[in-house]
């Protein structure tokens, strides 16, 4: 069993096509792993075993007939932010606890249309607002990783798997699925990937359709995969991406064959290293790893250049105006009338207010209120318009950099994974988790996080590569070089099995 669930997506695909294994056998192995691990990890909020086995059965029939589609019979986890037809979709919020969509998200439909098997829905921060998965209405996700304790035994401290896609990152790292879908508004794919030793890519804004994904901040939200390897991420993004008439911001451009670009290396590639990312609060070991990443790319034939992205430090405060503003408007739809939970009041306004008081968690309320404030009469210019101007400058920084370099290398997070409760006391401290990832969303660029090594505590660290618009191909090529140089970063002990 363990050997089946430990396969990469690409290996599993090969074995299925060679008829060495069956999709039903593979799916069953993952369902058993989930059953054993989920009471401890809480990565899945719903397991759709029956649906998974039915999909696997169809996959086996197609594989038998030699009619396999791209992802035929490959079991994956699906973030609960994606609407799934006939399957409860909560966005990990109480307000949507009973919501059963009558439609499938476009990205989900793309995956199932290519034969992928859905194991279940994955935990996330409520409405994808958070960096630790602690704000979920289904409770937090426990990282499969543990810190080194005293006397060489692992510490019992529960670590966060990052967020908002914490269920995705934990499930992939713990071998509960071959890969997972995720979404990224300010770092929600890349930060959890970094903290769990997995690969996560947020593609260029417009690369994937947002249709049927519960909206947080529409000018920043993008779908992407979390996977065990760069190759697996490339295979998945190729299926997830593409134009969709139902999302006018999805771009009508052909999707390149990302897998075909792998193995080409970085010879002659110009890699930018931005001075401004050497921020206060950057841990020494993350800095060292960054230098190591620079050396790896240089050894592989890349040319390293120091660059300047002068508005970097303003990306996070600008984000915390733009994202809450869009969230306050997007989440206005949860009024207890059309869907979700209603708490009856004396009149319609009272009903709205009571419904939203009971339905939303603290962080969601905070962001809605910040958004409401910055958009309110008299403050719009001072906050929202100012932030959108700063956003233009952040994008210009990158536009200037692309004159000199092909890709930018940074750490993904300033620190390794933290423990439960360490950052929940002060919202600002949690927001700082996204300091290196949020610039990428503000500029609409693609970014990938690749596992690059372990911290002194024995927990994973990631490096981020940022690319030109729609140049995900280069991110996969360079990411693969980092991945090979760093070697495998895998969970040492499946302690939830009692070992």
Partner 1 sequence: MTVDDDTVRRIAHLARIKIEDSDVAGLRSELSGILDWVEQLNEVDTDGVEPMTRVAAHKLKKRKDVVTDGEMADVVVKNAPFSEDNYYVVPKVIE
Q: Scanning residues 245 to 264, which ones bind partner 1 (CB under 8 A)?
A: 245, 248-249, 251-252
Nearer to partner 1, 370 or 450 (CB): 370
Task: Choose the catalytic residue: 164, 168, 209, 250.
Answer: 164
Query: Is 240:212 a contact under the CB 8 Å cutoff?
Result: no
Give the shortest CB-5-to-partner 1 separation in angstroms: 35
Task: Choose the catalytic residue: 135, 188, 250, 449.
Answer: 188
Examine residue 211 and tell whether it contacts partner 1 (CB under 8 A): no
Residues 367-386 that bind partner 1 (CB under 8 A): 368-373, 376, 383, 385-386
Examine residue 427 and tell whether it contacts partner 1 (CB under 8 A): yes
According to CB under 8 A, which one of 41, 307, 387, 405 is a site residue for partner 1? 387
The 3-state secondary structure of the chain reads CHHHHCCCHHHHHHHHHCCCCCHHHHHHHHHHHHHHHHHHHCCEEEECHHHHHHHHHHHHHHHHCCCCCCCCCCEEEEECCECECCECCCCCCHHHCCCCCCCCCHHHHHHHHCCCEEEEEECCCHHHCCCCCCCCCCCCCCCCCCCECHHHCECCCCECCCCCCHHHHHHHHCCCCCEEEEEECCCCCHHHHHHHCCEEEECCCCCCCCCCECCCCCCCCEEEEEECCHHHHHHHHHHHCCCCCCCCCCCCCCCCCCHHHCCCCCCCCEEEEEHHHCCCCCCHHHHHHHHHHHHHHHHCCCEEEEECCCCHHHHHHHHHHHHHHHHHHHHHHCCCCCCCCCCCCCCHHHHHHHHHHHHCCHHHHHHHHHHHHHHCCCCCHHHHHHHHHHHHHHHHHHHHHCCCCCEEEEECCCCCCCECCCCCCCHHHHHHHHCCCHHHHHHCCCEEEEEEEECCCCCEEEEEEEECCCCHHHHHHHHHHHHHHHCCCCCCCCHHHCC
Task: Choose the catalytic residue: 79, 121, 202, 468.
Answer: 79
Nearer to partner 1, 306 or 357 (CB): 357
Nearer to partner 1, 156 or 381 (CB): 381
Examine residue 321 and tell whether it contacts partner 1 (CB under 8 A): yes
According to CB under 8 A, which one of 14, 392, 400, 493 is a site residue for partner 1? 392
Examine residue 287 and tell whether it contacts partner 1 (CB under 8 A): no
Examine residue 484 and tell whether it contacts partner 1 (CB under 8 A): no
According to CB under 8 A, which one of 93, 196, 204, 464 is a site residue for partner 1? 204
Closest CA to 140 of 42, 23, 40: 42
Examine residue 276 and tell whether it contacts partner 1 (CB under 8 A): no
Give the shortest CB-447-to-partner 1 separation in angstroms: 13
Examine residue 145 and tell whether it contacts partner 1 (CB under 8 A): no
Give the shortest CB-343-to-partner 1 separation in angstroms: 9
Give the shortest CB-111-to-partner 1 separation in angstroms: 22
Examine residue 308 and tell whether it contacts partner 1 (CB under 8 A): no
Nearer to partner 1, 141 or 370 (CB): 370
Residues 53-112 that bind partner 1 (CB under 8 A): 98-102
- Residues with Cβ within 8 Å of 207's Cβ and at least 6 positions away in sequence, in order, are 222, 237, 241, 250, 251, 255, 446, 470, 472
Q: Give the distance from CA 451 to its chain's centroid.
A: 14
410 beta partners: 464
Nearer to partner 1, 69 or 386 (CB): 386
Describe the strand order of the beta sheet including 199-202 as a list of residue ranges.
44-47, 117-122, 75-79, 179-184, 222-227, 199-202, 447-454, 460-467, 407-411, 270-274, 303-307
Examine residue 50 and tell whether it contacts partner 1 (CB under 8 A): no
Residues 213-232 that bind partner 1 (CB under 8 A): 219
Nearer to partner 1, 260 or 369 (CB): 369
Nearer to partner 1, 150 or 338 (CB): 338
- Return the structure tokens found at 9: 């997506």
According to CB under 8 A, which one of 44, 127, 320, 476 is a site residue for partner 1? 320
According to CB under 8 A, which one of 120, 162, 469, 479 is a site residue for partner 1? 469
Examine residue 492 and tell whether it contacts partner 1 (CB under 8 A): no
Known catalytic residue at 395: no
Rounded Cα–Cα distance for residues 440 and 437 (Å): 6
Nearer to partner 1, 46 or 481 (CB): 46
Give the shortest CB-392-to-partner 1 separation in angstroms: 5
Stretch that binds partner 1, among 40-48, 201-209, 295-303, 486-494 (CB under 8 A): 201-209
Give the shortest CB-478-to-partner 1 separation in angstroms: 22
According to CB under 8 A, which one of 256, 265, 317, 458 is a site residue for partner 1? 317
Examine residue 339 and tell whether it contacts partner 1 (CB under 8 A): yes
Examine residue 318 and tell whether it contacts partner 1 (CB under 8 A): yes
Give the shortest CB-344-to-partner 1 separation in angstroms: 7
Nearer to partner 1, 327 or 417 (CB): 327
Binding-site size for partner 1 (CB under 8 A) equals: 71
Active-site residues: which are they?
79, 164, 188
């Amino acid at each position: 069993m363990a050997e089946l669930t430990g396969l990469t997506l690409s290996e599993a695909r090969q074995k299925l096509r060679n008829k060495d294994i069956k999709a039903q056998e593979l799916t069953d192995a993952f369902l058993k792993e989930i059953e054993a691990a989920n009471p401890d990890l809480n990565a899945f909020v719903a397991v759709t075993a029956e649906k998974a086995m039915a999909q696997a059965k169809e996959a086996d029939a197609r594989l038998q007939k030699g009619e396999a589609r791209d992802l035929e019979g490959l079991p994956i986890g699906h973030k609960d932010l994606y609407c799934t037809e006939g399957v409860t979709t909560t966005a990990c919020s109480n307000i949507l606890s009973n919501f059963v969509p009558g439609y499938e998200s476009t990205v989900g439909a793309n995956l199932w249309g290519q034969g992928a098997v859905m194991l279940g829905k994955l935990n996330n921060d409520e409405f994808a607002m958070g960096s630790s998965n602690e704000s979920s209405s289904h409770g937090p996700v426990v990282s499969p990783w543990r810190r080194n304790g005293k006397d060489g035994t692992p510490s019992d401290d529960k670590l966060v798997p990052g967020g908002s896609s914490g269920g995705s990152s934990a499930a992939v790292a713990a071998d509960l699925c071959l890969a997972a879908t995720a979404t990224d508004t300010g770092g929600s794919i890349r930060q959890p990937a970094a903290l769990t030793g997995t690969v996560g890519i947020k593609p260029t804004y417009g690369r994937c359709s947002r249709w049927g994904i519960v909206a947080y901040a529409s000018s920043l939200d993008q779908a992407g995969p979390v996977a065990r390897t760069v190759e697996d991420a490339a295979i998945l993004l190729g299926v997830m991406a593409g134009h969709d008439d139902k999302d006018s911001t999805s771009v009508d451009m052909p999707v390149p064959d990302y897998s075909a670009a792998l193995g080409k290396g970085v010879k002659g590639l110009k890699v930018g290293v931005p001075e401004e990312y050497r921020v206060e609060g950057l841990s020494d070991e993350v800095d060292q790893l960054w230098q190591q990443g620079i050396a790896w790319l240089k050894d592989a034939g890349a040319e390293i250049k120091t660059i300047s992205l002068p508005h970097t430090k303003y990306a996070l405060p600008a984000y915390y105006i733009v994202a809450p503003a869009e969230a306050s408007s997007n989440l206005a739809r949860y009024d207890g009338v059309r869907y979700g939970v209603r708490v009856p009041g004396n009149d319609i306004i009272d009903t709205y207010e009571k419904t939203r008081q009971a339905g939303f968690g603290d962080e969601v309320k905070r962001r809605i209120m910040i958004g409401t404030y910055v958009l309110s009469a008299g403050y719009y210019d001072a906050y929202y318009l100012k932030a959108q101007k700063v956003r233009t400058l952040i994008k210009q920084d990158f536009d200037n950099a692309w004159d000199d370099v092909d890709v930018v290398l940074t750490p993904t997070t300033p620190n390794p994974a933290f423990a439960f409760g360490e950052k929940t006391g002060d919202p600002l401290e949690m927001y700082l988790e996204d300091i290196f990832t949020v610039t990428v969303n503000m500029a609409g660029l693609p970014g990938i996080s690749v596992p690059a090594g372990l911290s002194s505590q024995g927990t994973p660290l990631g490096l981020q590569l940022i690319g030109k618009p729609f140049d995900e191909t280069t991110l996969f090529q360079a990411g693969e070089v980092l991945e090979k140089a760093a070697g495998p970063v895998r969970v040492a002990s499946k302690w939830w099995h009692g070992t």
